[in-house]
Structure 1
Amino acid sequence: MAPSRASGRDGEKEFVVALERREERERARRVDKWKAAVAGAISGAVSRTLVNPLDVIKIRFQIQREGTVKMAKTARGKYVGVTQALGCIVREEGVRGLWKGTVPGLLLTVPYCAVQFLALETFRSAFQRRRIGVEGDNREVLSMDRTMSFAGGAFAGVAATAASYPFDLLRTTMAAQGVPKQYPTVFHAARGIVAQRGVFRGLYAGLGATVVEIIPYAALQFGLYDIFTAAYDRHVHAAVGSPSEGGTGKKVAVDWSYLVSKPFVCGLASGFIAKFATHPLDVVKKRYQVAGLKRSATYGKGFGVKEVAVLGIFRLLTKTVREEGLQGIYKGVTPSLLKAAPSAAITFAMYSLAMDYMSSAAQG
């Protein structure tokens, strides 16, 4: 009986130790999630501030209504090229014009990126717990990992969009209005939009189009990012492998340059592809958001609330193609790509640095 009791006590101790370790892992997981939120907020603030001028130019093109098919040169829109638009904005509105919408942009991007990376880490943690019990060959697990990368990106994008959408609309409104301004401040814009269209129909105008856009965009961005980072690691590993395998045999120092270069390069590529694939939906979203905004006639005919709001996403998309050609749904694609690609690169690089710094600080 004694050995049985001893083995019972040993089993109980092992159970307690295992339980304590599990609780420690859960606490660490919760801490890591909030680190992800903080790192996401920091990365979003830095990237938003740096690329805001390109965002302003992109928005001006997207809401420019003049047709682009078989139009005389004199009938073309106010902005006809990135450099021309840049010079025009600086000449008419000053350098500060390139940073219009920065405040609502930061109010959008900081919580957006915080929620996005928090949601992504939450999704990944839940997936990893389920993945442990999955049996199968490596190809099955790899396929599952890739699927979850795309699904996790979509989940994170929708969660972040729902949490920060009114700031997205206000950012677009402030950047789009040009001169003279209809709204001098973000507060005036919010109050004016609510008075004109109501709270939900005003501050959440275009939410449906945004969700339709963000699901494929975020899925592609995060899914491709994971694929590219894995390929990047394989390339580096092959390059520094043993001489017999064709490598140099040198060790790789995982320093700040590596922590920056990998996410920057992979983020640049994934951001470019994701934005190009979903740009038409972004054009439609912007037109929903600025419906009813009063602008100078020099910017062309605006979009009426009744004219745009009553149309569904795909009806507005086909209407744009019918009136403006395929070029209409790719208006602003050049500044959009010039903004989205480096924005994703900076965001991922800053996120990596911030997470590494907080982890190092926690370890002392």
Structure 2
Amino acid sequence: MSRFVIAPLDVVKIRLQLQHHALSPTFTLLNPSTLLNPTVTVTPNGPVYHGILPTLRTIIHQEGITGLWKGNIPAELLYLTYGAVQFLVFRQISRLISKTGYDVPDPLKNAVAGASAGAIATTVTYPCDLLRTRFASQGTEKIYSSILSSIRQIYTSEGPTGFFRGLSAGIIGIVPYMGIFFCTYESTRNFLHRTNLSHGTTDAFSGTFAAVIAKTGVFPLDLIRKRLQVQGPTRGLYIHRNIPVYNGIWKTARKTVSREGWRGLYRGLTVALLKAAPASAATMWTFETTMRVLKWKDGVED
């Protein structure tokens, strides 16, 4: 339900992340290859999005209301599978660290367990993430007509590795993200538990605060991952027809900064925070509440 509600914001975020040109009908790029014509003016082949609400209106106008839920099916599969793997691995690794006998501080234990859980969950569910991005990047012209056809098409034209484009950026990004998230979440939650706030309010606020801190810290890697995910033979067929060729994390980062400046690495951050904060709050509140119910049912004290 959380995923369905925030799906429009996710589509907006992906569209903004893939928009590599300046926010104007035409934009100018430096052309150092010639001194006679040092700049070149380019007209983008595709819509130019300005902000969250205008982007929502543009998508509805051009693609209909259903355009806001493009990629929702693979995204639902991603969220369900990712959540299951993430929390299972997090709890198991936390227990293993506790059983070593070493006095590991809770923030460090949570950071290690969170980073490990994020890396494993990202790898397992990455094909769903890639499909989500590609479906959300489609305009009125259909590249993939269904989940099964997209799987067959990618496997035929790009091979098995096609489902893992940008995985390295995902791993590099998710490890610090989950480490920062769980470390911040547990620290904030433990601090707030000493106040008079209820458990539900504490869990929700801690999840929101942790999501904002973690997402902001690693957002450039999320943008790089999205731009790498749409590479391949269909690169020129998405809503932004002029997506450049990107190869590797550092080359993508350098090309993005050279074309768009440092702010280009943070395209879509505002909508990402609007999307991530309530989703994380709901996720962590539900998780902690369910854990308390299960412990109460089994007669286990927290």
C-alpha offsets along residues 134-178 of structure 1, whole Å, 9 cap, x if unaligned?
4xxxxxx6xx22111111110110111121111111111111112
- State whether residues 153 and 219 of structure 1, in contact with CA within 8 Å, keep that contact through their aligned partners in structure 2: yes
Report the 3-state secondary structure (helix = DSSP H, G, I; strand = E; otherwise coil) of the residue aligned with 1:234.
Answer: coil
**Within the alignment, does 1:192 sit opposite 2:153 as a pair?**
yes
Moved more, 77-86 or 277-286: 77-86
Offset, 1:261: 1.5
TM-score computed with the length of structure 2 as normaliser: 0.86
- State whether residues 223 and 267 of structure 2, in contact with CA within 8 Å, keep that contact through their aligned partners in structure 1: yes
**Within the alignment, does 1:323 sit opposite 2:259 as a pair?**
yes
C-alpha offsets along residues 187-241 of structure 1, whole Å, 9 cap, x if unaligned?
12222212221112x00111111101111111111110011101111233xxxxx
**Within the alignment, does 1:213 sit opposite 2:173 as a pair?**
yes
Counterpart amino acid of 1:353?
T
Counterpart amino acid of 2:283?
T
Rounded to whole Å, the distance in 2 between the matches of 1:312 and 1:57 is: 24
C-alpha offsets along residues 236-274 of structure 1, whole Å, 9 cap, x if unaligned?
3xxxxxxxxxxxxxxx8xxxxx34211111000100111
Offset, 1:296: 5.5
Change in 2 beyond 3 A, CA 1:87/1:109: same
Percent identity between matched residues is 34
- State whether residues 68 and 325 of structure 1, in contact with CA within 8 Å, keep that contact through their aligned partners in structure 2: no
| RMSD of aligned Cα (Å) | 2.3
- Structure 1 residue ranges without an equivalent (≥5): 1-45, 135-140, 237-251, 253-257
How many residues matched?
Answer: 283
**Within the alignment, does 1:280 sit opposite 2:220 as a pair?**
yes
- State whether residues 49 and 102 of structure 1, in contact with CA within 8 Å, keep that contact through their aligned partners in structure 2: yes
After TM superposition, the structure 1 = structure 2 runs for residues 229-308 of structure 1, keeping only pairs within 5 Å, are 229-236=189-196, 258-292=198-232, 293-294=234-235, 299-303=240-244, 307-308=245-246
The structure whose Rg is larger is 1
Offset, 1:279: 0.7
Change in 2 beyond 3 A, CA 1:361/1:92: farther
Counterpart amino acid of 2:226?
K
Change in 2 beyond 3 A, CA 1:297/1:119: closer
- State whether residues 177 and 295 of structure 1, in contact with CA within 8 Å, keep that contact through their aligned partners in structure 2: no
| Aligned residue number for residue 286 of structure 2 | 350
| Aligned residue number for residue 31 of structure 1 | none
Rounded to whole Å, the distance in 2 between the matches of 1:193 and 1:57 is: 24
After TM superposition, the structure 1 = structure 2 runs for residues 141-220 of structure 1, keeping only pairs within 5 Å, are 144-200=105-161, 202-220=162-180
Offset, 1:113: 0.7
Rounded to whole Å, the distance in 1 between the matches of 2:147 and 2:163 is: 12
Counterpart amino acid of 1:51?
I
- State whether residues 280 and 330 of structure 1, in contact with CA within 8 Å, keep that contact through their aligned partners in structure 2: yes
Rounded to whole Å, the distance in 2 between the matches of 1:192 and 1:86 is: 29
Moved more, 344-353 or 52-61: 344-353
- State whether residues 138 and 239 of structure 2, in contact with CA within 8 Å, keep that contact through their aligned partners in structure 1: no
Higher helix share: 1
Counterpart selection for 1:94 from 48, 61, 64: 64
- Structure 2 residue ranges without an equivalent (≥5): 29-40
Rounded to whole Å, the distance in 2 between the matches of 1:68 and 1:93 is: 21
Counterpart selection for 1:337 from 270, 273, 280: 273
| Aligned residue number for residue 52 of structure 2 | 82
Report the 3-state secondary structure (helix = DSSP H, G, I; strand = E; otherwise coil) of the residue aligned with 1:299.
Answer: coil
C-alpha offsets along residues 313-356 of structure 1, whole Å, 9 cap, x if unaligned?
11211111011111211111111111111121111112122223
